[in-house]
Amino acid sequence: LSRSFQKFQGYHVWGIEVFTTSEVEAINGTSVKLTCTFSSKEPVSLQTASVSWDFRSITADRPERIFYYQEIPYPIDKGLFKGHVQWSGDMKRKDASITLNNVHPGFNGTYFCQVANPPDVHANIGETVLRVVDKVTLSEISLLVAIIGGSCVVILVFLGIFVAVRMYKKRNKEKDIEIWIYSLRGNVSHVFIYHIIHCALIVPSHQLVVFFCFFFFYLRLNMFGCRYACSPAAAVHLTALKTK
């Protein structure tokens, strides 16, 4: 019979099931919520349902009562937890959580959450281990860095897409410069030059671009050994920065 009862207990078949966070960490001087929720086979009775919170310190052998709730909260009015325990639950939502305010290292230990909802009174006991630290641990810092880093990566991806689209549009707007030089001697010197200006869109003045391009090709003609002199009456036709 004893073995059968132990086997039955191993399946955790309860009228009420209590769920808590196994371990919680809080910074010294801050507030921390100890979450406790439950499920019950019976409808929750706001008049008879009750919640008990007990605490066992690291050095103690037996737990002590620090909070009780039935219709209204009954916080402890003496001892270590006086003025520190606040009701944060909602029985309608099957929430039996509490909040510890202004925690300090003396709050290190194990907290037990018990719920009763008559006639449903058989329930497991939820346990939460609280650790009060002086500063944020490396795990929390790593989590914060991961969140910030992930956000930055997402922003950079969208920024890269935006820049790529802008560059694609700029390339489609790049212009060809065609220069024709005619002489009056009857000997027509025909020079047809295509040049792509990759910096056209970042130079503030388009006239400045045209001037430097013309000057560049004029020097190129002289370097190729153009022996005739273009008279002042020579006509120069310039087609620049064509639009689609």
- At 107-136, the pLDDT tens digits run 999 999 999 999 888 889 999 999 999 876
- Give the Cα separation of 31 and 92 in Å (integer): 24
Q: CA 190: distance to chain centroid? A: 63
18 strand-pairing partners: 38
- Return the closest-CA partner of residue 94 out of 22, 128, 43, 32: 43
Opening angle at CA 230, ends 228 and 232, nearest 5: 150
Distance in Å from the first CA to the final CA of the chain: 92
Q: What is the pTM of this model?
A: 0.52
Segment 190-217, tens digit of pLDDT: 444 444 444 444 545 555 555 555 555 5
Scanning the structure block, which residue is given the tokens 């997402």? 154
Mean pLDDT for the stretch of residues 2-24: 63
- Give the Cα separation of 198 and 211 in Å (integer): 15
List, in order, residues 6 or more apart from 228 with CB less than 8 Å away: 183, 185, 187, 189
Segment 98-108, tens digit of pLDDT: 999 999 999 99
215 strand-pairing partners: none
Query: Comparing 16-30, 33-47, 144-158, which segment has the lowest mean pLDDT?
Result: 144-158
- Return the closest-CA partner of residue 100 out of 123, 127, 132, 125: 132
Residues 85 and 98 sit within 8 Å (Cβ to Cβ): yes
pLDDT at 192: 42
- Return the closest-CA partner of residue 98 out of 45, 146, 42, 53: 53
Which SS3 state, helix, strand or coil, does residue 39 take? Answer: strand
What does each C-alpha distance from 72 to 42, 48, 50, 84, 187 come to in angstroms?
Answer: 21, 11, 9, 17, 109
User: Per the structure block, which two tokens stand in for 18?
Assistant: 């209590």
What does each C-alpha distance from 145 to 46, 82, 88, 138 come to in angstroms?
Answer: 44, 37, 30, 10
120 strand-pairing partners: 117
Task: Give the largest CA-CA distance in the chain.
Answer: 125
Mean pLDDT for the stretch of residues 131-142: 74
Residues 116 and 144 sit within 8 Å (Cβ to Cβ): no
68 strand-pairing partners: 52, 74
3-state secondary structure 199-219: CCCCCCCHHHHHHHHHHHHHH
Q: What percent of the chain has pLDDT over 90?
A: 41
